[in-house]
Chain A
Amino acid sequence: MIDLTQVFTKTLWIVIGVVVFVGCSNVDVKQTSTPVLSAMFSGMIEGRSKVILEPNESRANRVAVGFAFVGPVGAVATAVTEDGFSEPGAYRYNIRQGTGEQKAVVSRSVVEIGRCVEVISPDASDLDVLMVIASDRCAQVDTTARALK
């Protein structure tokens, strides 16, 4: 005869062990990459639209951890947490380089259309950083490109 209480207790300890193992690695704030501010190219922003990125936390994950440690009350408390964290936002920019070539980049930087920017890739991720630079730097490149054509 299988002792269900023993099975339940063992399963619970395994679940707690896994959660502790996974969760402990995420308690402190730490640097996951070493960014650098080196420009890839510059250009004029011609379009901007909002995009939603992949979240690094989900409501299901929060509820699971809440339930594992505080039971049903913890599950309810984590379930009612605002949903905002699960929809991290960024912007997709259409940038026209001096050569006339259009490039699309996704960035968390906030820059208005018509501004001249330097596109920086600070780390290995697909998210770039935009830095506004003097508009004459884009104009100079643009003039050179037209002259070459």
Chain B
Amino acid sequence: MQAYFSTVLLCVLCLLSACANMNTVSTAAQTAGLSRVYTEDNERVKAAVVAAMQSLNINIKDTVDEDGALVLTFTKSISVLSWGEVGRVRVVNNGDFSSSVFLHSKKRLRTQITGVEEEEFARHLFDIISALLTKTTGDDND
């Protein structure tokens, strides 16, 4: 019986040791994740990204400027079907009226099937940004 519980505990700890945290995404490669290019003024894109992030049911942890790139880190709350997710959004000025938005996210428990995938976060975010920029400029930036 004791051996059984020890094995279960060991398995659970092995699973948990594979957990992603904020450090996992904040130290990832700068171009990690999914991206979309917006042919729009960089300051306008940055404003749209902040507004879009605020409109999602996520917890924006921090926003910083890293060598001219706006970087936002976020978490998604734990729920019965997910241990939550951690993510990062980078807004990079490409010059020539063009900006790239990179979204990178990980599930806290990497072996978990449920929860929000990176593609889902990206689709929601990019669509809201596009809609915001379209509303204000009349351009579609996909």
For residues 106 through 136 of chain B, which have their beta carbon under 8 Å from a beta carbon of chain A?
Answer: 108, 114-116, 120-121, 124, 128, 132, 135-136
Docked CA distance A55–B75 (Å): 11
Bound CA–CA A115/B65 (angstroms): 15
Q: Which residues of chain B are near A82, meaning CB under 8 Å?
A: 21-23
Interface of B, secondary structure class, is: mixed
Total A-B residue contacts, Cβ distance less than 8 Å:
146
Evaluate contact between B60 and A26: CB separation under 8 angstroms.
no
Partner of B12, one of A70, A120, A127, A133: A70
Contacts of A20 in B (CB 8 A): 80
Number of interface residues of B (CB under 8 A): 52
> Chain A's nearest CB lies how many Å from the CB of B40?
11
Tell me how far the C-beta of B59 lies from the nearest C-beta in chain A, rounded to whole angstroms: 5
Number of interface residues of A (CB under 8 A): 51
B-binding residues in A (CB < 8 A): 19-20, 23-24, 26-38, 55-57, 61-62, 65-66, 69-70, 73, 77-78, 81-82, 84-85, 87-90, 107-110, 120, 122-123, 125, 127, 129-133
